[in-house]
Amino acid sequence: MEEEQEEPQSITTTAAALSADPALQKKHQAMLDRLSNRHQPRQKSASSASTAAFLTQFSDSRHSIESQLAEASSSKLAADPSLMKSHMADFSSSISSLEQLVAENSHLLPPYELRSALKSISDLKQSLENLNPKKKFSFKSKSQNQTQKSSTAAQCQALNTAPAAPEQPAPRFSVQDSPGFRNKESQILAKSFKGSEIGEFTLSDLESCEVRLIGPVNALFINRLRNCRVYAGPVLGSVLIEQVDSCIFVLASHQIRIHRARESDFYLRVRSRPIIEDCGGVRFAPYCLSYDGIEDDLKAAGLEAETGNWANVDDFQWLRAVPSPNWSVLEETKRISSVEI
C-alpha cells in the first residue's frame, strides 16, 4: 500500500521539478521531439512502401499486356478475325483493370509517377487499336463512317490517287457507337437516363447548344463542341472530352480526361485527379448542378462526397516542377451560381 501511494507523489514531484527547472523542461521537450520524429519516418516509410508495391504491380501487369499484344500482332491471330476479336476483348479488359488500379492508387502517387502510368496506359490502348486496322470504334456514327469511306474511295479511284490526309486530327479517345446528340446547332438538348438501359452517351459536333443530362450513365464521350454548355448528372465510369472550345461543363464522374480543350470552364466533382492534355486557358471550379433527385443519384454512383480533386489537375504534358500554365482555378467571383435543370 505504501508503494502504491509513493508513485503518484513521485510523478507530482517530477512535474513540479520540470516546471521549476528550465533546463529540465528543455531536456524533456527534446525527448518528446525525438519520440515524435521517430514516428514520422515510419509513416513516410509506409507510404513509400505502398507506392513501391503499386509500381511493382503496375510494371508487372504492363509488361504482361505488352508481351501479349506483341505476340498477338506477330502470330496467326491477326489472320483470324473471330479469334482476334476474342483476344482483343481480353486485352481490353486487362487494360481497363490496369487503368482502374491507377485510379484507386492515384492519391498515393507523386504527379510524375501518375503521369507516367497514364502515358503507359494510353500507349497500351493505342497498341490495341493498331491490332485492328478496321477501326470499329469511332465518335461518328457507323452510317457516317461508311458514307465517308465510300465517297473517299470513289474519288481516289477516279483520280487514281491515295486518300488525302484528313484536315481534322483523329479523336484521341476512340469509343463505341452509342446513343447521343450529334450534329446540332443552337438547340437545347435534354435527356433523362432514369429507368434507361443506356450505358454510354455521346455528344459530338455541337455548336452553341445547351445540353441537360439527368440521371446516372456509365460513360460520357464528348467530341468537337464549340460555345456549348453541358450540365450532366453523375457518370459511373469515365468522361472523355476531345476538342472543345469556349464551353462550360458541369460534370460529376469517377474519372475525367480532357484533350485539346481551349478557353473552357469545368465545374467538376471527381474521385480521381482530372487529366488534361494539349489544353490551354482551361479553368476549374467545384460541381454546382442541381435537379430533383440528384443527391440520390450521386450517392448511388459513389460521388456524394466532395473530394476537392476538381482543383487537383494533372497536366499530362507538363513535367516541370512549377505549376502548369495551361489551367487555373476559376476565381469565386467569376464562377456561375448553382445550376438547376
DSSP 250-282: EEEEEEEEEEEEES-EEEEEESS--EEES-BSE
DSSP 216: -
DSSP 331: P
**Which residue has better confidence, 230 or 314?**
230
pLDDT band of 75, cuts 50, 70, 90:
low
User: Residue 77 has what pLDDT?
Assistant: 57
pLDDT tens readout for residues 178-207: 899 999 999 999 999 988 877 889 999 999
**Which residue has better confidence, 307 or 10?**
307
Q: Which of 228, 227, 117, 131 is nearest to 174 (CA)?
A: 131
pLDDT at 302 over 70: yes
Close Cβ partners of 191 (under 8 Å, ≥ 6 residues apart): 181, 201, 212, 213, 214
Report yes or no: 257 and 275 within 8 Å, Cβ to Cβ. Answer: yes
- Phi/psi at 202 (5° precision): -120, 135
pLDDT tens readout for residues 241-252: 999 999 999 999
- Phi/psi at 176 (5° precision): -70, 160
**Which residue has better confidence, 276 or 82?**
276
Count of CB atoms situated within 10 Å of the CB of 116: 15
Angle in degrees, 0-180, between the axes of helices 22-74 and 2-20, rounded to the nearest 10: 90
Q: Does an H or E element contain 205, and which? A: strand 200-207
pLDDT at 152 over 50: no
- pTM of structure: 0.55
Looking at residues 59-84, what average pLDDT do you find? 74
- Widest CA span in the chain: 112
pLDDT band of 16, cuts 50, 70, 90:
low
pLDDT band of 141, cuts 50, 70, 90:
very low
Burial of residue 238 (number of CB atoms within 10 Å: 0-12, 13-18, 19+): buried
pLDDT band of 84, cuts 50, 70, 90:
low
User: Residue 274 has what pLDDT?
Assistant: 92
Which of 48-57, 77-86, 192-201, 284-293 is most confident?
Answer: 284-293
What Å distances lie between residue 209 and 141, 203, 230, 247, CA to CA? Answer: 20, 11, 8, 10
Which of 3-7, 98-102, 210-214, 233-237 is most confident?
Answer: 210-214
pLDDT at 165 over 80: no
In the chain the domains, ranked by start, together with CATH numbers, are 1-134 (1.20.58), 174-340 (2.160.20.70)
Alpha helix segments (H runs only) across the chain: 2-20, 22-74, 81-105, 111-130, 142-159, 294-300
Report yes or no: 140 and 186 within 8 Å, Cβ to Cβ. Answer: no
State how far the Cα of 302 lies from the Cα of 143, in Å rounded to an integer. Answer: 36
Looking at residues 43-70, what average pLDDT do you find? 77
User: Residue 279 has what pLDDT?
Assistant: 94
**Which residue has better confidence, 84 or 37?**
84
Please give the grid coordinates belonging to residue 194. 432514369
pLDDT mean across residues, the chain:
76
pLDDT at 11 over 60: no
State how far the Cα of 56 lies from the Cα of 20, in Å rounded to an integer. Answer: 55
